[in-house]
Structure 1
Amino acid sequence: MPTLEQLIFALFPAALLVVSGAVATLRPPTAWMRSAILHLAAGVVFAVVAVELIPDLLRDHRPIETAIGFAIGVAAMLGLRAFSHANEKHERPEPPADPTKEPQSRPPNTVEPIALPIGMLAGIAIDLVIDGFMIGIGFAAGSKEGRMLAVALAIELVSLGLAVAAGMSKLGIARARSLVVLIGLSATFLAGAAIGMVLLSQLSNAWLAGVLSFGAAALLFLVTEELLTEAHEEEETLALTAMFFAGFLAFLILGMLGS
């Protein structure tokens, strides 16, 4: 069963997802600020992989299990990316109506409800389940690995909370409704963390190598294909690039001090 320490470190990223999203509904962040957080998160997550997960895999020296776990991790993330892209295509806004045609009449004093982007949110929810599962993988490797991974994912979920809140605001969805969505998304992260902690608490060395390599692949995909891709939507500056290396260096030093 998960320990109190594990539960606290799982709640930390989930809470920041809701808090950052709630703040963004009141005061949306600038594009530069969001890009800076994305660069920082990418550096931090990359550092956790390089400093904590990869050394454990090299020490265990199980190439077959590592290769299988890594391949499954890449396949899972590619499948999630394909699922998300398919849903985004289905939910593209319809072209503007023909001005020569009369609009359909609607009963007076009625407001047409704004539909939630279910496909997009489903993709984010699945991604969050995997992120939560990463917490379980981290604690399966050790308390230090779990703590550092939880902090790294917390920074990533701050950027996600900002993005979700901004997207909901652009769609004209009310703040209260956006907050409910954010709470629901944080619950999916906690569900993934709980599943990971329960299932991975008593793994053999062979299974642990496969799970750690799965986590390393998923986190590397997160850095290269999601965090940095979104971060580069803003014009790159020296300060933004420095944020990546600042995040990496900070967690590199933490890894040294905690060993």
Structure 2
Amino acid sequence: MATTYLTALLLSSLPALGNTFGGLVAERFEISEKALSLALHLAAGIVLAVVGIELIPTAIEADPPWLVLIVFLAGGVFSIGLDRVTDLIASRTGGEANAGAWGIYAGVAVDLFSDGVMIGAGSTISLSLGLLLALGQVPADVPEGFATIATFKAKGIPRRTRVLLSLSFALPIFLGVTVGYWLVRGRPAIVKLGLLAFTAGILLSVAVEEIIPESHKGDEARLAAVALVGGFALFTLISVYLG
């Protein structure tokens, strides 16, 4: 039985709260450069797994598959414009030193948007599917929220701004639910799969061009590579058992 739009919004609040919780943990504790490096590697591993395990395998089920791959490429091109926007924001909040932090924020926001699309679309099928999709995202969103806010903290962004940024993560997932529930349902599968491919292209670019480079700027942890692979494995585990 399909759920109402309000119920879909409530379900999407679960991963949003997980992300915010991760940010609040980063606020509570002092974060060393090595700990930040581990957190960013973990977040990068999760984002890469979202692309490789969830988004692309689903998207290439489209007919024809080459069409969604073109849209995937378009997502990568779009990320160039997204990078320009984050650079503009960074120039107003501390210059080039903050560009990486805003790039990570943008990537996590896109990830949350894609979560919302899946939850919204799944909720139109059944309540149980929507709930399963929402619960499955929470464990992955906590370290992403932690890494994002820890990076802003390391850049010296004021605490009030960091808290507002952490709370603002609810916006992209609510937008994603709205798109998934109202704009994707009832449309050809190629529309939903193309949207997932587009977000995958953005996320892949952000992980490689923003999150991983940022994780190497400070005192890198010795187990950074393990954290990267661990993040990938964590999301894969969640996808297999809760997806």
TM tier, smaller: 0.7 to 0.9
Query: What residue number does 2:230 align with?
Result: 246
- Deviates further, 214-223 or 130-139: 130-139
- The residue type equivalent to 1:215 in the other structure is T
Query: What residue number does 1:53 align with?
Result: 55
Judged with a 3 Å threshold, the aligned counterparts in structure 2 of structure 1 residues 47 and 21 are, in CA distance, closer, same or farther, namely closer
- SS of residue in 2 equivalent to 1:60: coil
Q: Does 1:7 align with 2:3?
A: no
Query: What residue number does 1:215 align with?
Result: 199
Judged with a 3 Å threshold, the aligned counterparts in structure 2 of structure 1 residues 50 and 166 are, in CA distance, closer, same or farther, namely same
When the two chains are superposed, the root-mean-square deviation of aligned CA atoms in Å is 3.4
Query: What residue number does 1:130 align with?
Result: 110
Judged with a 3 Å threshold, the aligned counterparts in structure 2 of structure 1 residues 136 and 68 are, in CA distance, closer, same or farther, namely farther
Report the Cα distance in structure 2 between the residues aligned to 1:235 and 1:122, rounded to whole angstroms. 20
Query: What residue number does 1:112 align with?
Result: none
Aligned residue-pair number: 229
1:226 Cα shift?
A: 2.1
1:1-259 aligned within 5 A: 1-2=4-5, 4=7, 7-8=10-11, 10-92=12-94, 129-139=109-119, 140=121, 147-149=135-137, 151-167=139-155, 170=156, 173=158, 175=159, 177-178=160-161, 181-182=164-165, 184-198=167-181, 199-258=183-242
1:245 Cα shift?
A: 0.8
- SS of residue in 2 equivalent to 1:59: coil
- The residue type equivalent to 1:137 in the other structure is V
Compare the two structures and name the one with the higher helix fraction: 2
1:184 Cα shift?
A: 4.8
Report the Cα distance in structure 2 between the residues aligned to 1:209 and 1:58, rounded to whole angstroms. 8
Judged with a 3 Å threshold, the aligned counterparts in structure 2 of structure 1 residues 17 and 153 are, in CA distance, closer, same or farther, namely closer
Indicate the structure (1 or 2) with the bigger Cα radius of gyration.
Answer: 1
Contact 1:18/1:183 (8 A) holds in 2: yes
User: Residue by residue, what CA displacement relative to the aligned partner does 1:91-139 show, whole Å, maximum 9, x if unpaired?
Assistant: 447xxxxxxxxxxxxxxxxxxxxxxx9x999988765653332113333
TM-score, normalised to structure 2's length?
A: 0.74
Contact 2:49/2:232 (8 A) holds in 1: yes
- The residue type equivalent to 1:157 in the other structure is G
Contact 1:67/1:213 (8 A) holds in 2: yes
Contact 2:60/2:69 (8 A) holds in 1: no
Judged with a 3 Å threshold, the aligned counterparts in structure 2 of structure 1 residues 19 and 196 are, in CA distance, closer, same or farther, namely same
Structure 2 unaligned segments of length 5 or more: list them: 123-128
Contact 1:138/1:145 (8 A) holds in 2: yes
